[in-house]
Amino acid sequence: MIRFHNTLSNQLEEFKPLKSGEVTLYTCGPTVYHYAHIGNFRTFVFEDLLRRFLECRGFKVKHVMNITDVDDKTIAGANREKKTLSQYTEFYTQAFLEDMKTLNLLPPKIQPRATDSILDMIEMIRKLIAKGIAYEADGSVYYRVAAFPAYGKLSKKKLEGNIEGARVDVDEYEKETGADFVLWKKAKEDEPSWDSPWGKGRPGWHIECSAMCMRHLGETVDIHAGGEDLVFPHHENEIAQSEAATGKPFVRFWLHAKHLLVNGEKMSKSKGNFFTLRDLLEKGYDPMAIRYALLAVHYRHQLNFTFEGLKEAREVIEKLDNCYFQCLSRSVLGVSASKKMAHGAGLKAVLEAVVKHLEDDLNIAASLSEFIGGVTKINTALDQMNEKELKDALSFFKKADELFGLDITSIDAIPPGVKESLGQYAEARKARDFSFSDKMRQQIKELGWVVKDGRPGEPSTVKKIRRAWDTKK
C-alpha cells in the first residue's frame, strides 16, 4: 500500500490514482527570474524522487511542470536589466533546464510556459466572471474570495477577518486572511501585456498554474506538489479558481516539501548563505553529492544544508562508485570466483525493501539505508561472487539508479583499450616488471580511467575518472 501525507487532510492517506495504472502529477515549476537556488532544488529533487518511485512501482506518470515566465518578479527583472521579458526569461529557462540535467532530474513530459498559455487563462477567467465568482474593477479582474465558501481548506486559514472588498494586486502576499486576489492585471506602461476582453493586461501568477494544470492533465489531478511556501496563497488560490470553474475537486493529493535551511538559518542573499547550484559547482562540489544531500532527508523534515553534509554525501557517492566499478571490472574482465556466493547477497530482497520504505510517504532515510546496506553486503562478498552474482549486483545498482537518480551506472562498459592495458598491467605486476606496469597505469589514465590495485589475492580493477575527487588521487 502506498501512503502519502496529504496537506489537504493533514493526514497520511492511501494513494491510488484516479485511473488505474496512470498518475497525473503537476509540480509548480521555477519562476525564471534568477538561477534556481538549492532550496528550490530540494523541492525539485523530492518531486523527482516521487516520480521515479511511482514509475518504479509500475505507474505511467504524466508529469507536467510549468515555467513561470511572466509574473511580478520576472517583469521587474527584465525592466531592471532593460531586456524584453522573453529575452530575460529565456536565459534563465535555459539555465534551469541545464541545471535539471546536471542534477539528473527527469525531464517532465510537458513543460508549458505561462506565456504560451495566456488564452487558456483568459478562458478560465471568463468562466469565473460568468459564474459571478470573479469581477472586473478598473481594467483588472479579481477573484471574489467570499464567493467560494471552501476558501482556506488547504492552508486552514480562516476568512472571518477578511475585509469585504479588500483586494490584493501582487502575486505573493502573506496576509493572514484571504483577500480578493487578482486574476488579470491591467497593463502598466512599462509592462508586457496581452489583449483580453478586459483590455490589455497580463495574468496573475495563480491563474497560470490552474490553467496549465487543467489544460494538460484534466480537471482533477492525482498529485500536485511544491514547496511549503506555496500552500498559501498560491495553492489555496489555485483550488479556489479551479474548483469554482469546474465544480469538481481540483487535486486529490497535495504534497509539500519543507524549506531548506542553510546552517540552521533561512537562506537569504543578505546573509550571504544563498547558494545557487552553480555556486556550489564553482566551488568544486560534485552534482551527485549535491543531489544526494538534497535527497537524503525526508521531504517533510527540515533539511539543514551544511558543507559538512555535502562532504558526507560525497563519501556515500564514492562508496557507491567504488563498489559499482569493482563489480563492473570483475564482470567485464572475467575475474569472478566460480564458487557460489557465500552470503547469497539477497539483493532481490534488499531491493524490495528499498522500494517498500518509499511506499511509506517516501521514507527516504530507511530506503537509502537499506540500499547502502546492500552495497556493504556486496563489498564483503565480492571475492566469492560468481559471474551471475556480479551481473545481479550490476542490475541492483541499475535499479537503484532508476529510483534515486544518482548516476552510478551510466558508464556500463570498459573500453577495449582500457581492458587490454589492464590485462598487461596485471601480467607485468605478476612478473614484477614495475616499470612496464607503471606505463600501463599511465596509459589507462590517459584514457580517462584509474587503476585500483587489489589487496593480495584480489584482482586489480579500473574506475572511470568522472567526479571531481577521482582526479585528486
Beta bridge partners of 9: none
Nearest to 114 by CA among 74, 61, 174: 74
Stretch that binds ligand AMP, among 12-20, 39-47, 327-335, 348-356 (CB under 6 A): 39-47
**Which one, 181 or 325, has the nearer CB to ligand AMP?**
181
According to CB under 6 A, which residues from 95 to 154 bind ligand AMP?
none
By rule CB under 6 A, what count of residues binds ligand AMP?
Answer: 16
Q: Which of 40, 111, 210, 331 binds ligand AMP (CB under 6 A)?
A: 40
| Minimum distance from residue 69 beta carbon to ligand AMP (Å) | 11
Please tell me whether residue 160 adopts helix, strand or coil conformation: coil
User: What does the angle CA 346 – CA 347 – CA 348 come to, to the nearest 5 degrees?
Assistant: 95
- Beta strands 3-6; 449-452: pairing state: unpaired
**Which one, 310 or 418, has the nearer CB to ligand AMP?**
310
**Which one, 229 or 360, has the nearer CB to ligand AMP?**
229
In the block, cell 562540489 appears at 285
What percent of the residues of the chain are helix, what percent strand, and what percent coil, each to the nearest 5? 45, 15, 35
Nearest to 100 by CA among 23, 47, 60: 47
Q: Which of 124, 134, 267, 451 binds ligand AMP (CB under 6 A)?
A: 267
| Minimum distance from residue 367 beta carbon to ligand AMP (Å) | 20
Give the one entry of Zn ion, ligand AMP, none that residue 61 binds, where binding means its C-beta sits below a cut-off of 5 to 8 angstroms depending on kind: none
Distance CA 249, CA 247 (A): 7
Q: How many residues does the chain have?
A: 473
Residue 229 binds to ligand AMP (criterion: CB under 6 A): yes
| Minimum distance from residue 38 beta carbon to ligand AMP (Å) | 8
Helices (H), 81-222: 85-102, 118-130, 205-217
**Which one, 188 or 266, has the nearer CB to ligand AMP?**
266
Distance CA 66, CA 73 (A): 16
User: What does the angle CA 292 – CA 297 – CA 303 come to, to the nearest 5 degrees?
Assistant: 105
Give the one entry of ligand AMP, Zn ion, none that residue 40 binds, where binding means its C-beta sits below a cut-off of 5 to 8 angstroms depending on kind: ligand AMP
Give the one entry of ligand AMP, Zn ion, none that residue 31 binds, where binding means its C-beta sits below a cut-off of 5 to 8 angstroms depending on kind: ligand AMP
Residue 39 binds to ligand AMP (criterion: CB under 6 A): yes
Amino acid at 265: E
| Minimum distance from residue 205 beta carbon to Zn ion (Å) | 7
**Which one, 168 or 260, has the nearer CB to ligand AMP?**
260
Q: Which residues are at the interface with ligand AMP (CB under 6 A)?
A: 28, 30-31, 39-40, 42-43, 68, 226-227, 229-230, 257, 259-260, 267
